[in-house]
């Protein structure tokens, strides 16, 4: 069998080469590009994110990343967000005291400062994995590497009367640093991790293999 074709979206975010190498180690054929057609046609799209929420969201929109992600998801084509690449999938951020910096709005929720006396949250941490998780299969008890000061701390499910509530709910993985925060989400073709799989050793590589297995 040929290896899955993966594009790491090159929109200006830093430290993407390590993600490329980790995906290659996990078994993918990887291209780093911002080309819309190639990113649309690949088996899996990875959206990395390093830095401030507002700048990542702006850079993504500048290369049509918001339209690209929307089109892929509409066609059921997998997308994986990493770190701030997870955060920008939510409605908004209040990073650095700014109010309601808009994200891509794929999920409801707000990115807020972690309620800890020590930020950033930097280093290895455990995660609380839902039973049906595909991403974490076989690595449920492993630790993963985090570097962030902000996170989504409330998962805002649809109201019971909302038509969306009849759909299969997303699987949410949690971690803790001063309080609980969203560490990963699995939602049909859209998945994301707040931590860095590419910096998480063998456990991170296995998570990427698990994701590649869904393509």
Domains and their CATH numbers in the chain: 5-212 (3.40.50.880)
Q: Phi and psi for 39 in degrees, rounded to 5?
A: -70, -30
User: Which of 95, 106, 186, 198 is labelled catalytic?
Assistant: 198
Decide if 196 is catalytic. Answer: yes
27 C-beta neighbours (distance < 10 Å), count: 14
> Tokens 């929420």 map to which residue?
53
Decide if 198 is catalytic. Answer: yes
pLDDT for res 158 = 61
Decide if 177 is catalytic. Answer: no
- Band (pLDDT 50/70/90 cuts) for residue 96 is confident
Per-residue pLDDT reduced to its tens digit, 18-74: 999 999 999 999 999 999 999 999 999 999 998 899 999 999 999 999 999 999 999
Cα 2 to Cα 5, 27, 40: the distances in Å are 9, 10, 19
99 C-beta neighbours (distance < 10 Å), count: 7
Per-residue pLDDT reduced to its tens digit, 140-199: 999 999 999 999 999 986 654 555 555 678 999 999 999 999 999 999 999 999 999 999
Separation of first and last alpha carbons in the chain: 13
Lowest mean pLDDT among 15-19, 28-32, 76-80, 112-116: 15-19
pTM, entire model: 0.94
Report the SS3 class of residue 211: helix
- Which residues lie below 8 Å from residue 209, measured CB to CB, with a gap of 6+? 26, 27
Q: How far apart, in whole angstroms, are the C-alpha atoms of residue 126 and residue 86?
A: 18
Which pair of structure tokens corresponds to residue 1? 């069998």
β 79-82/190-193 pair status:
parallel
Most distant CA pair in the chain: distance in Å? 50
Q: How far is residue 183 CA from its own chain's centroid?
A: 9
User: Which of 31, 58, 83, 140 is labelled catalytic?
Assistant: 83
């Amino acid at each position: 069998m040929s290896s899955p074709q993966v594009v790491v979206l090159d929109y200006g975010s830093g430290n993407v080469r390590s993600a490329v190498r980790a995906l290659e180690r996990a078994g993918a054929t990887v291209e780093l590009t911002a080309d819309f057609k190639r990113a649309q046609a690949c088996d899996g799209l990875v959206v990395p994110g390093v830095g401030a929420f507002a700048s990542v969201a702006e850079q993504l929109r500048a290369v049509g990343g918001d339209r690209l992600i929307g089109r892929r998801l509409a066609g059921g084509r997998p997308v994986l967000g990493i770190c701030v690449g997870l955060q920008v999938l939510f409605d908004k951020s209040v990073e650095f005291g700014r109010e309601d910096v808009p994200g891509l709005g794929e999920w409801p929720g707000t990115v807020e400062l972690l309620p800890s006396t020590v930020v950033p949250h930097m280093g290895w941490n455990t995660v609380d994995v839902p039973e049906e998780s595909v991403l974490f299969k076989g690595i449920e008890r492993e630790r993963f590497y985090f570097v962030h000061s902000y996170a989504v701390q409330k998962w805002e499910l649809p109201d019971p009367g909302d038509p969306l509530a009849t759909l299969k709910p997303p699987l949410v993985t949690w971690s803790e640093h001063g309080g609980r925060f969203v560490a990963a989400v699995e939602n049909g073709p859209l998945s994301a991790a707040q931590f860095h799989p590419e910096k998480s050793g063998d456990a991170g590589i296995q998570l990427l293999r698990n994701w590649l297995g869904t393509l």
